[in-house]
Structure 1
Amino acid sequence: MSETLRPAAFLDRDGVINVDHGYTYKPEDLAFIEGAPNAIRRLNEAGYLVVVVTNQSGVARGYYGEVDVERFHAHMQAELAKSGAKIDAFYSCPYHPEGVVAAYRLDHPDRKPKPGMILRALRDLPIDAGRSFLIGDLPTDVQAATAANIAGHRFPGGDLDDFVAGVLLQAGAPLGPK
């Protein structure tokens, strides 16, 4: 019995879902980008899997550990639940070629602009790649989407819910309630 494929909305984390304070990892530092919880709920209601793909070079740089990233994501998920929103999966890349932590000092295929995290999600989850897209705030995010053969959209800032509504309209997808 195979699962029905669903489109996925791949979202970068820092600068798209939450305010990027520079190596943000403490739960108490979580501040959502304007409209982010509503945007994620909109995607959920439109039938999209919501998948976070985030470079977390702070691990390689020795600023925090992978457990801190997981703790931050759990807190984010709990805060989103208060708005009726949820993230279906988190993929993070703790590697950086100039890291100070030897175990993480490499140019890993998951590190955007490489498409590794997206490709892993496409293998792991019942995703229809042809109807999927990525939203990121940096050119490297869009480059990763292009390399994974999915649409990429650069979020310029502002209200994420308004931006997501525009992307869904462009894709001919249902907008879901505001």
Structure 2
Amino acid sequence: MEKNKCIFLDRDGTINVYKGLISRPEDLELEKNAAEAIKMINESEYLCIVVSNQPVVAKNLCSLEELWRINDRLRKLLEEKGAYLDDIFVCPHHPDKGYPGENTEFKIRCNCRKPDIGMIEMARQKYNIDLSKSYIIGDSTIDIQTGINCNMKTILVKTGLGGSDKIYRVCPDYIANNLYEAVNLILGDKPKWNY
């Protein structure tokens, strides 16, 4: 059976405007042309799957149910513009314990929090994905390190953090101004520059 190809997307700062930790659906706002970019993926041979660290749950800023309501709003905003996500995987955990008001159930070390590859692995198995023919697009060095850990091509977008987190010393395969440009790099002519 032929394997699928996927464009994995980070959520905050890549698809929606970066506002720190989003804990209410009404705070989610799409990046300019993000829906158009996802629609292009939908019309291509690639799956479009979100993989997102969401420590808002571990930090007790919202419940797991509220987190899925935020993701439902993301789906709704995209659907209004004719785009859709094939799936959304989230990591609600955070490894650092000992903060007032934290949700201790989710304050654990896990293998799903990027740059660990748990979410990608779940998606790979569920959708029979060939990671060597797949991409990850994100706004942080964590996203780029995740792609490197999975042997995928990586694209850093300049929206959101734009790589300013500098948590990992990594070099993406490509850099794009935004998600729309990143998707065009993949689906249009072969990328014309390398970093």
TM-score for the superposition, normalised by structure 2: 0.81
Q: Which 5+ residue runs of structure 2 have no aligned equivalent?
A: 160-176
**1:27 paired residue among 22, 25, 28:** 25
1:171 Cα deviation from its structure 2 partner = 5.5
Deviation at 1:40, TM superposition (A): 0.3
**For residues 103-132 of structure 1, what are the alpha-carbon distances to aligned partners after superposition, in whole Å with 9 as ceiling and x for unaligned?**
111121111111111111101113232221
Preserved CA contact (<8 Å) 1:118 1:145: no
- Native 8 Å contact 2:39 2:84 kept in 1: yes
Which residue number in structure 2 is paired with residue 122 of structure 1? 124
The residue aligned with 1:109 is 111
Question: Which of 75, 88, 106 in structure 2 is aligned with 1:77?
Answer: 75
How far, CA to CA, are the matches of 1:101 and 1:25 in structure 2? 14
CA offset digits 1:57-100 (Å, max 9, x no partner): 11101111111111111111111111111000100000001252
Q: Mind listing any 5+ residue stretches in structure 1 that lack a counterpart? A: 173-178
Structure (1 or 2) with the greater helix fraction? 1
Q: Does 1:154 align with 2:152?
A: no
Whole-Å Cα distance in 2 between the matches of residues 98 and 136 of structure 1? 23
Q: Give the total of aligned pairs.
A: 170
Q: Give the counterpart letter for 1:108 in structure 2.
A: C
In the superposition, relative to structure 1, how do residues 31 and 123 fare at CA in structure 2: closer, same or farther (>3 Å)? Answer: same
Contact 1:95 1:105 in 2 (8 A): yes
- Any residues of structure 2 matched to 1:6-21 within 5 Å, and which? 6-21=4-19
**Overall identity of the aligned pairs, in %:** 32
Distance 2:127 2:133 in 1: 14
> Which ranges of 4 or more aligned residues in structure 1 deviate by more than 6 Å?
none
Q: CA–CA distance in 2 between the matches of 1:17 and 1:119?
A: 21
Distance across 2 between alignment mates of 1:124 and 1:84: 24
Separation in 2 of the partners of 1:112 and 1:102?
Answer: 20
Q: Equivalent residue of 1:166, what SS? A: helix
Between 1:99-108 and 1:49-58, the stretch displaced more is 99-108
| Conserved? CA contact 2:94–2:109, under 8 Å | yes
Instruction: Check whether the contact 1:35–1:162 (CA below 8 A) recurs between aligned residues.
Output: no
For residue 182 of structure 2, the aligned residue among 149, 163, 168 is 163
Query: If the length of structure 1 is used for normalisation, what is the TM-score?
Result: 0.89
| C-alpha RMSD of the superposition | 1.6
Q: Report the counterpart of residue 144 of structure 1 in structure 2.
A: 146
| Deviation, structure 1 residue 34 | 1.2
Equivalent position SS for 2:49: strand
Check conservation: 2:23, 2:61, Cα contact below 8 A.
no
Name the CA shift for 1:105/1:134 in 2 (closer, same or farther; >3 Å): same
5 Å matches for 1:35-114?
Answer: 35-99=33-97, 100-114=102-116
